[in-house]
Amino acid sequence: MTVDDTTNPQHGVVGERRGTVLLDARGITKRFGEILANDTVSLTLRAGEIHALLGENGAGKSTLVKILYGALDPNAGDLVWQGQTVTIASPAEARALGIGMVFQHFSLFEALTVAENIALALPPGQSFRALSERIRQVSRDYGLTLDPSAIVADLSVGVRQRIEIVRCLLQEPKLIIMDEPTSVLTPQEADQLFVTLERLALEGCAILYISHRLEEVQRICHHATIMRHGKVVMECDPTKETAGSLARLMVGSAVHDLKRGVVPREGDVRLALKDLSAEAEGPFSVAIENIDLDVRAGEVVAIAGIAGNGQSELFELVSGERLSSSADAVTIGAVPMGRAGITKRRRAGAAFVPEERLGHGAVPGLKLSENLLLTRHSTGDGLVQGGFLKRDRAGALEQRIKTNFDVRMSHDDPEARALSGGNLQKFVIGRELDRQPDVLVVNQPTWGVDAGAAALIRQELIDLSRNGAAVLVISQDLDEIFEIADRIAVISRGKLSDAIPAQKLTRERVGLLMAGLDEDSGGAGDAA
């Protein structure tokens, strides 16, 4: 917890870097509104090197990669490709240079065959038969078994990724960018992928490998660049670092002042999850496995974890948007609620704030006073009587939330989509806090919110708990978690670790847990 933010990249232990320089990105800067997504980032990629790009969500990795692949224009900086300064204006130009990319989420037509999908991405004019033969050959050469005539819908996620990789390889790239390739793979599928990547590197291909999983990075990468808050904070040889030191560098530690107040003496359990499990609902959904957690009145419990490890699935199960298989899996107050819908859970004193503001927490095209009704139509606020809407009361309540939570708007009662992200988030959270709930569950409370609004929201969450509510926060932002949480649990691949008092945890330990590693005992999955 002692490493400060660094402005200049440190150099850790860097081994001899071999291979000719393929791509040199110099001083890349990209600004989105007030946010510097990339701040004078430099990156050198060499032929034959598997280069890891590490960082938390929002560290600027995706922005950098999109610039390299021609999907975004940098505001400043140069790209030097094989010694020549180039402008990459589109992904097509990137491919023409020899840069290929395999995305985290696939773009395949499920109803078509493997060969048809690949043909769609290639320039026209090839005979289909010849293409099928090339697919067979490339897939055999690289150990990526593929049947060109198979229908994509019938294939597993791992095989679908092979299609993307083969499609990329057929264009004979010199640099392949892989965005979190293992996040959707089983460990066995991941092992196969590593063999392929090592083989490609041996043949002189450069690979830029984006991942959160430190174990993998240490296993296959020759070099690593670590980003935080849009800057490169360090370059190193990952095999010479410990997973702990990498995690600490990724996570950093900026400290803001929040009034924590006194944790009241141990309160009653207000929200209890008991052996909560649910199957995955699709190829990009995560199964929830045997989660146990108690949240008591007066405390803030945070669930840390990297995106896509089951956070949204867990949120849906706790909120009642998705029902559990047994009533006892979720208890609110003292009542088993696992089989009750979200409205019943709200009536029992619980309130929920989902991650997505627009489209989930609020309807973009409805006015704020109508969006108020979304979560409060049946919670005894008198907004609906005998099935009829009481618009004047909703309007008055909207005014109250606007004043109490400093929601800024250009004119009165606008549509939700007209508010900025931070202001809409203040409204969506204010809508629930205004009820003074006994239990509040919030997913990514300050995602994409500016610093001022974030501080206000975090203070509100702490104050709510100190007034006797049980608050459960799901977040990827470790700074936030350490600022507000009394206890911290970590979710990884749908399993939740024990909730441990925040004082007893270091960022390093949390970072390791987030990356799916835990060197201490009492790891993921054990009952509390």
Partner 1 sequence: MRLELEKRPERSTLMALLSPVIAIALTLVTGAVLFAALGQNPAVALYMFFIDPLTASWSLQELVVKATPLILIGVGLAVCFLSNTWNIGAEGQFTAGALAGSMLPILLPGFESFLTLPLMLLMGIAGGMLWGGIPAFLKVRFGTNEILTSLMLVYISQLLLDWLVRGPWRDPEGFNFPESRVFSDAATLPALADGRMHVGAIFAVIAVLALSVVLLKTLKGFEIRVLGQAPRAGRFAGFSRNKIIVFAFLLSGGLAGLAGISEVSGSVNQLTPVISPGYGFTAIIVAFLGRLNPIGIFFSGFLLALSYLGGEAAQVTLGISDKTTRVFQGLLLFYVLACDTLILYRIRFTRPGVSAKGA
Q: Rule CB under 8 A: choose which of 418, 455, 517, 528 binds partner 1.
A: 418
Beta carbons of 207 and 178 less than 8 angstroms apart:
yes
Q: Which stretch binds partner 1 (CB under 8 A): 91-99, 187-195, 360-368, 467-475?
A: 360-368
Q: Rule CB under 8 A: choose which of 27, 143, 341, 501 binds partner 1.
A: 341
Nearer to partner 1, 239 or 378 (CB): 378
**Helix, strand or coil, per DSSP, at residue 465:** helix
Shortest spacing between CB 57 and partner 1, in angstroms: 21
In whole angstroms, how far apart are CA 263 and each of 299, 459, 498?
7, 14, 20
Binders of partner 1 in range 465-524 (CB under 8 A): none
Does 417 bind partner 1 (CB under 8 A)? Our answer is: yes
Does 27 bind partner 1 (CB under 8 A)? Our answer is: no
Shortest spacing between CB 387 and partner 1, in angstroms: 5
- Which residue's entry shows tokens 């005539």? 149
Nearer to partner 1, 143 or 341 (CB): 341
* Distant-in-sequence, close-in-space partners of 221: CB < 8 Å, separation ≥ 6: 50, 51, 52, 209, 238, 239
Q: Can you read off the two tokens belonging to residue 385?
A: 């009587």
Nearer to partner 1, 221 or 330 (CB): 330
Beta carbons of 158 and 145 less than 8 angstroms apart:
no
Does 392 bind partner 1 (CB under 8 A)? Our answer is: no
Nearer to partner 1, 429 or 514 (CB): 429
**Helix, strand or coil, per DSSP, at residue 318:** helix
Nearer to partner 1, 316 or 486 (CB): 316
Q: Rule CB under 8 A: choose which of 3, 71, 263, 389 binds partner 1.
A: 389
Binders of partner 1 in range 300-339 (CB under 8 A): 319-321
CA of residue 356 relative to chain centroid, distance: 12
Residue 410 CB neighbours (<10 A): 7
In whole angstroms, how far apart are CA 268 and each of 219, 294, 487?
45, 10, 15
Binders of partner 1 in range 109-168 (CB under 8 A): none
Q: Rule CB under 8 A: choose which of 33, 83, 125, 387 binds partner 1.
A: 387
Measured distance CA(340)–CA(364) in Å, rounded: 27
Beta carbons of 370 and 381 less than 8 angstroms apart:
no
Q: Rule CB under 8 A: choose which of 27, 143, 261, 359 binds partner 1.
A: 359
For the chain, count helices (H), then strands (E). Answer: 16, 24
Amino acid at 156: S
Nearer to partner 1, 75 or 290 (CB): 75
Nearer to partner 1, 269 or 363 (CB): 363
Site string for partner 1, 44-83 (x = CB under 8 A): -----------------------------xxx--------
Shortest spacing between CB 342 and partner 1, in angstroms: 5
Does 377 bind partner 1 (CB under 8 A)? Our answer is: yes
Reported in sequence order, the residue ranges of 137-283 that DSSP labels E, i.e. its strands, are: 175-179, 206-210, 223-228, 231-236, 269-278
By CB under 8 A, the count of residues binding partner 1 is 35
Shortest spacing between CB 410 and partner 1, in angstroms: 8
Measured distance CA(475)–CA(303) in Å, rounded: 6
Shortest spacing between CB 420 and partner 1, in angstroms: 10
Nearer to partner 1, 305 or 361 (CB): 361
* Distant-in-sequence, close-in-space partners of 147: CB < 8 Å, separation ≥ 6: 114
Does 395 bind partner 1 (CB under 8 A)? Our answer is: no
Measured distance CA(110)–CA(202) in Å, rounded: 33
**Helix, strand or coil, per DSSP, at residue 389:** strand
Q: Rule CB under 8 A: choose which of 365, 382, 448, 501 binds partner 1.
A: 365
Measured distance CA(332)–CA(481) in Å, rounded: 23
**Measuring CA to CA, which residue among 77, 102, 63 is closest to residue 23?**
77
Residues that bind partner 1 (CB under 8 A): 73-75, 319-321, 341-343, 346, 352, 354, 356, 359-366, 370, 373-375, 377-378, 384, 387-389, 414-415, 417-418
